[in-house]
């Protein structure tokens, strides 16, 4: 849901910036690579040290590259399969860095093995949720389902909670509980979304196989 409406809104907002970068000779692929590097730096430098506020600020500044690069490609008329592949692949890398950063904190100074495991589950389930759609589409199925928590929801929930939790370092009391709550929400929501996609692929594949058998029977 967030991915559908928020992407459309921010695409319109970022269109002038994308045009500015094109005029300066910046390529969409360069934006994709720089954006991913920025997200990884924010997640793996700040989060393992518990600096969630500043880590979230850095990540937020770079995460919009996911919208800017595609906007640039469309404006320049150079959209390609390679660009789509690179963007999708590096999205997985960025997501892994974010939840990996959370896991490193809880495995270290955060000292909470349960939350470390939850963060790792969020990392793994997010990758598998994306894989199920890609794999289903690769075998010719539409995978027509809007999951409960997809990539946009995972990022918004976890990063907003991390940023607010980071305010604890500035003396705001009680906010540090927000990140654990968010991780549990993302973990449960990702598991539900995975189930939704698996059920959808099973139904669509059964329908496709039945249609194929019916077509063979009439020939």
User: Which of 91, 111, 112, 209 is flagged as catalytic?
Assistant: 91
Mean pLDDT for 45-71 is 92
Mean pLDDT for 60-75 is 85
Q: Is 129 annotated as a binding residue?
A: no
Q: Does residue 215 belong to any structural domain of this protein?
A: no
> What is the CA angle 117-120-121, rounded to 5?
85
For residue 57, pLDDT over 60 is answered with yes
Q: Is 29 annotated as a binding residue?
A: yes
Q: How many domains does the chain have?
A: 1
Q: Does residue 164 belong to any structural domain of this protein?
A: yes
Cβ(126)–Cβ(187) below 8 Å: no
Q: Does residue 55 belong to any structural domain of this protein?
A: yes
Mean pLDDT for 33-45 is 96
Q: Does residue 194 belong to any structural domain of this protein?
A: yes
Residue 219 binned pLDDT confidence (cut-offs 50, 70, 90): low
Cβ(38)–Cβ(62) below 8 Å: yes
Q: Is 111 annotated as a binding residue?
A: no
How big is the chain, counted in residues?
A: 219
Domain span holding position 185 = 1-210
Q: Is 32 annotated as a binding residue?
A: yes
Q: Does residue 216 belong to any structural domain of this protein?
A: no
Q: Does residue 201 belong to any structural domain of this protein?
A: yes
Q: Does residue 13 belong to any structural domain of this protein?
A: yes
Q: Is 138 annotated as a binding residue?
A: no
Residue 98 binned pLDDT confidence (cut-offs 50, 70, 90): very high
> Which CATH number characterizes residue 160's domain?
1.20.120.1760
Q: Does residue 218 belong to any structural domain of this protein?
A: no
Report DSSP letters for the chain, one per residue.
Answer: -HHHHHHHHHHHHHHHHHHHHHHTT--HHHHHHHHHHHHHHIIIIIGGGT-HHHHHHHHHHHHTHHHHHHHHHHHHT---HHHHHHHHHHHHHHHHHHHHHHHHHHHTTT--HHHHHHHHHHHHHHHHHHHHHHHHHHTT-------SS-HHHHHHHHHHHHHHHGGGGGT-TTGGGHHHHHHHHHHHHHHHHHHHHHHHHHHHHHHHHHHHHHHHHT-
User: Does 112 qualify as catalytic in the annotation?
Assistant: no
């Amino acid at each position: 849901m967030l991915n559908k409406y928020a992407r459309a809104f921010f695409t319109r907002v970022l269109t002038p910036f994308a045009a500015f970068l094109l005029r300066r000779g910046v390529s969409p692929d360069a934006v994709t690579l720089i954006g991913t590097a920025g997200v990884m730096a924010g997640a793996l430098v700040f989060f393992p040290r518990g600096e969630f506020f500043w880590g979230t600020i850095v990540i937020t500044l770079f995460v919009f590259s996911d919208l800017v690069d595609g906007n640039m490609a469309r404006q320049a008329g150079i959209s390609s399969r390679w660009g789509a592949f690179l963007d999708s692949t590096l999205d997985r890398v960025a997501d892994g860095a974010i939840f990996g950063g959370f896991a490193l904190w809880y495995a270290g100074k955060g000292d909470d093995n349960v939350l470390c495991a939850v963060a790792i589950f969020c990392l793994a389930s997010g990758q598998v949720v994306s894989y199920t759609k890609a794999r289903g589409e690769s075998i010719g199925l539409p995978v027509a389902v809007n999951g409960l928590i997809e990539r946009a929801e995972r990022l918004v929930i976890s990063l907003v909670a991390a940023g607010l939790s980071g305010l604890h370092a500035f003396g705001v009391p009680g906010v540090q509980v927000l990140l654990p709550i968010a991780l549990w929400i993302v973990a449960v929501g990702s598991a539900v979304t995975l189930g939704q996609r698996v059920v959808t692929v099973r139904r669509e594949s059964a329908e496709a196989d039945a249609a194929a058998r019916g077509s063979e029977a009439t020939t």
